[in-house]
Each structure stands twice: as C-alpha cells, then as structure tokens.
Copies of this chain bind each other. A is one copy, B any other.
Amino acid sequence: MPVDTIFWDHGSIKLVDQTLLPAKFKYIRCRDVKTLWHAIKKLQVRGAPAIGIAGALGIALGVKSSKARTGKDLLREVTGIARYLASSRPTAVNLFWALARMECIASRNSARSVSDIKRMLEREALEIIREDKEACRSMARYGARLIKSGDTILTHCNAGGLATADYGTALGVLFEASRQGKRIKVYADETRPLLQGARLTTWELMHAGIDTTLICDNMAASLMAKGRIDKIFVGADRIAANGDAANKIGTYSVAVLARHHGIPFYVVAPLSTFDLNIASGKDIPIEERDADEVRAIGGRFIAPRNVKVYNPAFDVTPNGLIAAIVTEKGIFRKPYAKNFKKYRRNRPY
C-alpha cells in the first residue's frame, strides 16, 4: 500500500501532513524552502528516507526562482539552502546524504548554464525518489524471506509508506510477506511521545488488511514474556560503520527486551541510511525535542506544566543486539563492520 507521502507537483512540493493522521488525510504544499524546513521540523514529513527526499526536493525548489547568472553563483545558493535544510533535524543521515548528493550535482556542473543546472537538480531529486521506491521493493523482498506464515511481529514507530516514497522499510517487509500469502499478525508500539505507531503504523497496516493490535510501549515486554512475539522489525535513522543503529526513542528498549526473551530483532533500512564515516553509534548526534511534547498530548497537559522533561527523539541500538540488517542490496549479518566493508569495496555508493 504505497502512499504518495511526498512528491514534486508542478514546481512545488506536496506532502501529507502526518501530524493530522489518522483523523485527517490532508496534503500541504510547500512553495518555498522555509515552509519545507518547518514541515520537517514539526514532523509534518518524517521518516529517514522521506526527509532525505524532502531535502533533495527542497534544493530543486530553492533554486527554481534563483536569479543567479552563473553556475558558480547557483552553487553558492545550493550550498546555502543545503545548510539551512540540514539544520532542521540532526539525527537521520538521509537528509545530509541527499543534500550532499544535490550539492555534488551543482558542483560538478558549475561550468554549465544556470537553467541546465536547475533542470539537472530537479532530475536528480526525482531520481532519488525513484531509487527510494526501488529500494523499498527490494528491501521488502529480502526481508520477507525472514518471515514465515503464522509469525507474530512487533514493530516500533512508523517505518512504512509514510516514512518513504513507497511502502516503507520495516513495514514494507510486512506488506510484502502478507502479499506473498504469509499469514502474519502485527503488534504496533504506540511510540510516545509523538505516537507515530498509534497514529500512522496502525493506519497503514489496517489499510493493508493486516491483523493489527495497538499496545503502549511498556506492554511489549509482557507480550514477549508470554511467548506472543516471534520477531521484531524496525527501521533506522542512521547506521554506523559497526552496525550500531539509531532509531526512534524506545527502539533500544525493544532490542534489550528482545535479547532477554531470545527474539530476533531486525533492522530494515536503505543504504542511504548508512553513515560509514562514523565508527560507532556513540558518534550519532541525538536530537532532543521540546519538553511540551511529553508534558502535553494534543495540546492538553497531562503533567505539571513546570516539570522537567528529558525528551530524546532517538536512541542507539548496539550492533550486538541486531540479528540482521536488511537493505536493498541484501541482508547483512554480524560482524557488520567487516561485512559492510566487503560490500563497500565491491560496490561503492
């Protein structure tokens, strides 16, 4: 069930406002880079691959109205826009990867005419979307091999169509397994504070006709103890060279619980989520968000307004707790550092 989460529409960006789901399915249009920056910041568009796409489209959008006369001038503008968009959210590496790829196009072609470069930037952004769609399908096919009929699967946050240009990373695997006729049942963690599991994942899974049950994050352990979870599939926002994976806050908690109960814990992410320049998860910057995201739900305060809050948006799962990492190029197993390197040598990306 691919959702048109974010796309290029006659020279502007259209995206589903994910903060309104599941109550309202509504598109917003970004006609300038500032609107897009706020859409990323406020999580109207979220999910590592989707914000990568947002970044790429943002460059195409930003240069459209440029008055630059030379390719060099345009490159300076591209760099400025990239720096601005990069300041929206720090953890998911796909954003920086996509921005760097766009800058590279502008830089490599700076001798060309401004209108040529603008056209090339738009084409590159659309190519990133096309590649993401293909990667989703490929990850899904590889990942579905790990699922057998009758499995009950736990997932955390939303790694579905709404997080990508197609039908998702971790959820893509579940959609594909279901399409192949495997009978599966899925428990979705609600994923406080922003409830992406309750709001987005259940909505996607139910639309796909998959047997879905919503739980609070703190109920997963109890299900595991009862032997009611066979496998865990989650996405990722950044994967270090040693396989440590940053993902939505609470993912590490699920991984530790999975280890205690002997349940395999799988990460599904495209190669654009890999950051092989950093050795381990310790180097991944973790975004801390506003205290009121925890103190209030839907504008209604559920705690004393002046209580101190710790609100990290992500946590890091050490590679040792990850049974396998599913990518569009296949399934990686431990030792990740070595196996990533082997892959890198053969096919640089």
Contacts and interface: CB of A to CB of B under 8 A. Distances in A.
Interface stretch (A101-109, A176-184, A296-304, A327-335): A296-304
Nearest to A211: B308
A303 B192 contact: no
A301 to B, nearest CB: 7
A12 to B, nearest CB: 30
B195 A249 contact: no
A295 B214 contact: yes
Interface in A114-148: none
B309 A215 contact: yes
A190 interface: yes
A337 interface: no
Interface string A305-316: 011111110011
Interface residues of A, number: 54
A35 interface: no
Interface stretch (A47-55, A197-205, A267-275): A197-205
Question: Chain A interface secondary structure, helix, strand, loop or mixed?
Answer: mixed
A249 to B, nearest CB: 6
A153 interface: no
A244 B219 CA distance: 18
B193 A216 contact: yes
Contact of A301 (B23, B216, B259, B312): B23
A245 interface: no
A220 B253 contact: yes
Given A213-B308, A218-B253, A225 B303 contact: no
Contacts of A215: 294, 309-311
Interface of A: 22-23, 187, 189-193, 195, 198-199, 202-203, 206, 211-223, 225, 249-250, 252-253, 256-257, 259-260, 294-295, 297-298, 300-304, 306-312, 315-316
Closest 4 CB pairs of A and B: A218-B250, A221-B253, A192-B216, A198-B303
27 contacts: A198-B303, A198-B307, A199-B302, A199-B303, A202-B304, A202-B307, A206-B306, A206-B307, A213-B309, A214-B308, A214-B309, A215-B311, A216-B250, A217-B250, A218-B218, A218-B249, A218-B250, A219-B311, A219-B312, A219-B315, A220-B253, A223-B310, A225-B315, A225-B316, A256-B256, A256-B260, A298-B298
